Structure 1
Amino acid sequence: MNKKFDMVVIGGGITGAGIALDAATRGMEVALVEMQDFSAGTSSRSTKLVHGGLRYLKQFEVKMVAEVGKEREVVYENGPHVTTPEWMLLPLHQGGTFGKFSTNIGLRVYDFLAGVKKSERRKMLSKDETLSKEPLIKKDGLKGGGYYVEYRTDDSRLTVEVLKKAVDNGATAINYTKVENFLYDKNGMVEGVEVRNLIAGTVYPIYANTIVNATGPWVDTLRTIDGSKKGKTLQLTKGVHLVIDQSVFPLKQAIYFDTSDGRMVFAIPRDGKTYVGTTDTFYSDDLIHPSMSIEDRDYILGAIKFMFPSVSVSAADVESSWAGVRPLILEDGKDPSEISRKDEIWESESKLITIAGGKLTGYRKMAETVVNLVASRLQEKTGKTFKNCMTKSLPISGGEVGGSKGFSTYIKEVVEKGINAGLSKEDAEKIAKLYGSNAPILYELAKESIGKHEELSPVVLSRIRYAMEYEFAMTPTDILLRRTGMLLFDIDKVQEIKEAVIEYMANYYNWSDERKNILTAELEEEIQKATVPFEGNLIKN
């Protein structure tokens, strides 16, 4: 690329995508590069909640709870097709982490700090009311429950929708492109990156006035290349979630519950499945391919047995799993128990800007802070001025549906287009709920697909084509794991259609036999990783 950008963002997770969107909408010329697929790291491996961090109140992280709590609403209003309110039940047991009085006060403070709307404010439940919400929870020692709203999301789709909006506003985004070196001017200031296209193998420079390192778990890897890894560093921890069919674990209510060792775990019903997590163990292994160990699996199965004693779940009932790596910030000389969940921004002597830590929920605010800094640096360096941040009320791609209040009306209206395209009402509704204001594009793709493929239904084929033509998907794993989530929540369907998907994509992209074999093996590895634990040991404190 001969062009010089205002900013290059390294990292295509939710943080990088948010920065690219904020920068592009202010009028900056911005490029984003990601060495894997967009959202392939931590941003597709979370608990899939845009949540306010109730547990941080216990650590007196009042400012964080207030800020992140308010951001939940912003994320929801800008993309109600990828985020939805979910009432969460917090069972209160004798001797548990949360007491009835402290929970009542805590949730009241939480409502106040987070500016929770009246219809979603907390309720305190009696023992009988708690059991009526979820009869499966442990009855021994049950005193009652707290009932409050969190927001469920599809983290990977949220990331891609933010990135698509950035591209709509002029950003350049490239996946499977790895930064191998920084480029410096004669004064030692960073002025670009040397990247390798991992598909074509080509190496080329990208120049910019500012470089932002938003690579999550790889932040310190890039700081090492820059020679600026000092002071605060990352402490990586791994979180694992298990997926179990509702026929085995018929949970009807999302639960945030104590484990026997005093940790807190979520159990959430979704699409006919129940998923449970997360673990929290130190991690120093493969960043690209974290996976469930036997210990991880057994820990979560033990947590299920502890809180839901009537549910008989064994290792054989685990349909799939996912593991993610959290990049937390550790200061030199501090104890691991003091690891921060907050985000921080560092600027090196070469003027490389690094953003680390933070939570999915706070991505937009983190991006605003970074782009404010970049705007001031660019004004100093080039004299350019830019608009103020406008992402607080900017719908993301698919979010042009009239906000949360208008979404149900939008669905009713747009479903007619799907039916006219030859889809059933149920399929048309499903696409509308998943893709929001982009649904009409999928209806057209579905219409074109009717009768065209024996093994792939028009709905599935429309989602595959949309992922390739509009969402940067380059591999079967991109589609089946990240763009559709099928590998996590409908793995039997993946096994059924994987060969047809591979063939379709091979024809579309004109893959060589070698490329096709590589990507087939990659998908098989992801399926294996999601279903079979490895013989690993937890990394102890």
Structure 2
Amino acid sequence: MSQQEYDLIVIGGGITGAGIALDAVTRGMKVAVVEMQDFAGGTSSRSTKLVHGGLRYLKQFEVKMVAEVGKEREIVYENGPHVTTPEWMLLPIHKGGTFGKVSTSFGLRVYDYLAGVKKKERRKMLSAQETLAHEPLVKKDGLRGAGYYVEYRTDDARLTLEVIKKAVEYGADIVNYVKAQRFIYDQKKITGIEVMDQLSGTPYILSGKRVVNAAGPWVDEVRSLDYSKNSKQLRLTKGVHLVVDQSVFPLKQAIYFDTQDGRMMFAIPRDGKAYVGTTDTLFDKDNDIANPKMTVEDRQYILDAIHYMFPTVHVTVDDVESSWAGVRPLIFEEGKDPSEISRKDEIWEQESGLITIAGGKLTGYRKMSEHVVDLVSKRLKSETKQTFKKSKTIHLPISGADFGGSQNYHSFVEKKALEAVKFGLTPDEGRHFASFYGSNADQIFKIAHAATGMKMDGSLTLAVYSEVVYAVQNEMIVKPVDFFIRRTGRLFFDINWVQLHKASILELMKNLLGWDEATYKTYQEELEKEIHDAIIAVR
């Protein structure tokens, strides 16, 4: 990469940086992305894991945002149905709650209209009896009914990764564990960046005509490396989610509900678990942004919210199997409460030529990226006379989505479940790989086929072995935490699986990646710390 000249260098390998890379490279730009941690290592693996239209922003009269983000949900879904799933959401209406029956009906109707919701997914209003038929655990006292509407559930880190892989398919150069540490200038204009390989400690210079800062919660830190300043700044807020087994919290239905203090929260069933969140508290920039922690107060707040809305559910501290905490980068607004700060994105351009994108929501990543690359394209045209095509990501399937759109997804998964048997896997394993990796499951099947008859060490099975090898060969995992958290999500949603297989997977990765003993021990300790942080709250 240090031997090239790029049209565009992007700092940040979260969903925004990934989206910008894909938009730019498909227009014909030569693109590089550097990420100082693992891809999606910050906010993009720690969200509520919903591609949602922001119904609550209607309350703040953010009509334009609801319209744009609402329409984007459908586009994101169609471009990657293996990482995004429509999910009917129940919005219970209680006497004295945030939403009344008339305002909910009106709000959801406006939402359907603004977001261009397709007919079969338009909102329904339910009676109290119908609400309890959908979810018997909801608080009966004061229940008036519910709104019923569609949101989209996703795996945020997988979405980021599939976008990155698509950009790489088109020729983008994208690398993790490489930190931007200094801008290079020519007559006060940025012409590149000095980066540091976080693994080897080697510095490199990358040359680029334009640099975009898409560093999420680290946006201000990157901007501080530049001589030119503007008055805008970030306000960071922290969100925590808890994961509980459905044997303890038998949630049937995704719910968007009132908490004890009038905020709103999600409870979502997923693969035998229920996860609940999020909190919304100010996050001090002096804390470690890379490792936000669940506190005892965060955990108690969510447990209290569960007991408030689901009074027959007796979830205790001991039932919390896992958790995650993430930091949201929002644009600072004087005197506003964390939950009132706008989720709008903003693009700032500085005298040096640095373009920064901040704020915004997971759902709007594609449109945000388009706006940024439109600006880059305009600047390159005036400065270098290069011309680039218009954005084409609106109908561009991301990596793994080569099965002809959402209407073919379920039949594709069932076909792959049967096919898996030919490669030594069970139908259930085939079904999991096809639904999780989409059309990339074929590569996992090939790895399994090549390893058939091989002696597996420790707890390894053919399926586990094949998934790890695939992640090493195709998804740039460097450390065990990359695999357990961001490539598979299992540290959040199946922590027992992690405990069962961690020793064997570490040994396999050690052999595949040629670690020495010291490296092995460092990565092992890092994984144990992540497991500890997911289970244990800090005081």
TM-score, length-scaled by structure 1: 0.97
| 2:119 pairs with 1:101 | no
Q: Is the 8 A contact 1:242 1:300 kept in 2?
A: yes
- 1:456 Cα deviation from its structure 2 partner: 1.1
Aligned equivalents of 2:6, 2:327: Cα separation in 1: 31
Q: Is the 8 A contact 2:54 2:66 kept in 1?
A: yes
SS in 2 for 1:206: strand
Deviations 1:81-109 (A, max 9, x none): 00000000000000000000000000000
| 2:100 pairs with 1:79 | no
1:318 corresponds to: 320
- 1:31 Cα deviation from its structure 2 partner: 0.2
| 2:506 pairs with 1:505 | no
Matched letter for residue 516 of structure 1:
Y
2:462 corresponds to: 458
1:265 corresponds to: 265
Deviations 1:323-374 (A, max 9, x none): 000000014x554566321000000110100000000000000000000000
Once the two structures are superposed, the pairs formed by residues 114-193 of structure 1 within 5 Å of their partners are 114-185=115-186, 187-193=187-193
Once the two structures are superposed, the pairs formed by residues 221-260 of structure 1 within 5 Å of their partners are 221-260=221-260
- 1:227 Cα deviation from its structure 2 partner: 3.2
1:30 corresponds to: 31
Name whichever of 65-74 and 421-430 sits farther off. 421-430
1:425 corresponds to: 427
Deviations 1:386-430 (A, max 9, x none): 111000000000011111111122223333331211211111111
Q: Is the 8 A contact 1:375 1:385 kept in 2?
A: yes
Aligned equivalents of 1:506, 1:148: Cα separation in 2: 47
SS in 1 for 2:76: helix
1:538 corresponds to: none
Aligned equivalents of 1:112, 1:198: Cα separation in 2: 48
- 1:451 Cα deviation from its structure 2 partner: 4.1
Aligned equivalents of 1:382, 1:230: Cα separation in 2: 26
Q: Is the 8 A contact 1:228 1:348 kept in 2?
A: yes
1:484 corresponds to: 488
1:217 corresponds to: 217
1:360 corresponds to: 362
Matched letter for residue 211 of structure 2:
I
Deviations 1:149-169 (A, max 9, x none): 000000000000000000000
Q: Is the 8 A contact 1:329 1:340 kept in 2?
A: yes
Q: Is the 8 A contact 1:43 1:159 kept in 2?
A: yes
1:495 corresponds to: 499
Deviations 1:25-63 (A, max 9, x none): 000000000000000100000000000000000110000
Matched letter for residue 182 of structure 1:
F
- 1:447 Cα deviation from its structure 2 partner: 2.1
1:39 corresponds to: 40
Aligned equivalents of 2:134, 2:228: Cα separation in 1: 52
SS in 1 for 2:224: helix
| 2:479 pairs with 1:469 | no
Matched letter for residue 518 of structure 2:
E
Identity %: 61
Question: Aligned to 1:516, which of 511, 515, 520?
Answer: 520
Deviations 1:172-211 (A, max 9, x none): 00100001111111x2011110000011111010010000
Aligned equivalents of 2:141, 2:453: Cα separation in 1: 56
Q: Is the 8 A contact 1:418 1:440 kept in 2?
A: no
Deviations 1:258-279 (A, max 9, x none): 0010000000000110000000
Matched letter for residue 156 of structure 1:
A
Q: Is the 8 A contact 2:255 2:266 kept in 1?
A: yes
Question: Aligned to 1:449, which of 432, 448, 451?
Answer: 451
Q: Where does structure 1 lack aligned partners over 5 or more consecutive residues? A: 536-541
Aligned equivalents of 1:135, 1:75: Cα separation in 2: 32
| 2:304 pairs with 1:306 | no
SS in 1 for 2:106: helix
Q: Is the 8 A contact 1:249 1:313 kept in 2?
A: yes
Aligned equivalents of 2:484, 2:532: Cα separation in 1: 14
1:539 corresponds to: none
Aligned equivalents of 1:320, 1:450: Cα separation in 2: 34
2:438 corresponds to: 436
- 1:229 Cα deviation from its structure 2 partner: 4.3
Q: Is the 8 A contact 2:178 2:197 kept in 1?
A: yes
Matched letter for residue 450 of structure 1:
T
Q: Is the 8 A contact 1:220 1:229 kept in 2?
A: no
Aligned equivalents of 2:121, 2:133: Cα separation in 1: 19
1:197 corresponds to: 197
SS in 2 for 1:225: coil
Q: Is the 8 A contact 1:343 1:357 kept in 2?
A: yes
Matched letter for residue 174 of structure 1:
V
Aligned equivalents of 2:337, 2:268: Cα separation in 1: 29
Q: Is the 8 A contact 1:51 1:361 kept in 2?
A: yes
Q: Is the 8 A contact 1:234 1:327 kept in 2?
A: yes
Matched letter for residue 272 of structure 1:
G
Q: Is the 8 A contact 1:447 1:458 kept in 2?
A: no
- Count matched residues: 533
SS in 2 for 1:33: strand
Aligned equivalents of 1:213, 1:329: Cα separation in 2: 15
Q: Is the 8 A contact 1:330 1:336 kept in 2?
A: no
Q: Is the 8 A contact 2:230 2:350 kept in 1?
A: no
SS in 1 for 2:113: helix
Q: Where does structure 2 lack aligned partners over 5 or more consecutive residues? A: none
Name whichever of 516-525 and 390-399 sits farther off. 516-525
Q: Is the 8 A contact 1:257 1:307 kept in 2?
A: yes
SS in 1 for 2:194: strand
Aligned equivalents of 2:417, 2:263: Cα separation in 1: 43
Aligned equivalents of 1:411, 1:519: Cα separation in 2: 34
